[in-house]
Amino acid sequence: MTIAVKVDGVKRALNELLVGLMKAQNDSIDDALKAAEAGAKSAVSSMTKTRTGALLRGFTTRRQNNFSGYLSNGVGHAIFIEKGTAPHTIRARNAQFLRFEIGGTVYFRRSVRHPGTKARPFTPLAMASGQMALRDGLRGRVDDLTARFNR
């Protein structure tokens, strides 16, 4: 006696599940990058005065591969906002004098002593926002996917 078992339906279902998991993973990473960018912008907005908006516009996200991506800020002063600065001297380089205004009075100096700035780290909020979005998004998508296969 011979019994034939056809597994075409099982193969098709497993393939569909695998494709669905890959899509869930990719969509979740994309959502996490967007959430990390939104978290960083929110932190910057709440911790700093934005005069030109360059720091907020400087955020970019980039997928590295199927498992990770990057959030970066190419604006030159972003690192000084994130890490702060020590007290330092600023000297006129492209002109004979520095020109600045305090309380409506204009001053000219060859150099000034800057007191430094405290760190205003926006990276931790960006990381937390991205991690929560990745966890929640992936969990929800996998739950939806497995629910389709439990019918």
* Domain-located, residue 60: yes
Alpha carbons 24 and 48: distance in angstroms, whole number = 36
Question: Which residue would you say has higher pLDDT here, 6 or 136?
Answer: 136
The number of distinct structural domains making up the chain is 1
Alpha carbons 52 and 64: distance in angstroms, whole number = 30
pTM: 0.71
pLDDT above 90 for 105 = yes
pLDDT above 80 for 98 = yes
Alpha carbons 95 and 89: distance in angstroms, whole number = 16
Q: What are the pLDDT digits (tens) for 64-74?
A: 887 788 888 98
Q: What are the pLDDT digits (tens) for 8-60?
A: 777 888 888 888 888 888 888 888 888 999 988 888 888 888 778 898 899 98
* Domain-located, residue 114: no
* Domain-located, residue 2: no
pLDDT at residue number 151? 65
Out of 46-60, 109-123, 137-151, pick the least confident: 137-151
Mean pLDDT of the chain: 88
* Domain-located, residue 80: yes
**Segments forming the whole domain that contains residue 59:** 9-84+119-149
Location of structure tokens 């494709």: 19
* Domain-located, residue 101: no
Q: Are 59 and 41 in contact (CB under 8 A)?
A: yes
* Domain-located, residue 73: yes
Query: Percent of the chain, pLDDT > 90?
Result: 30
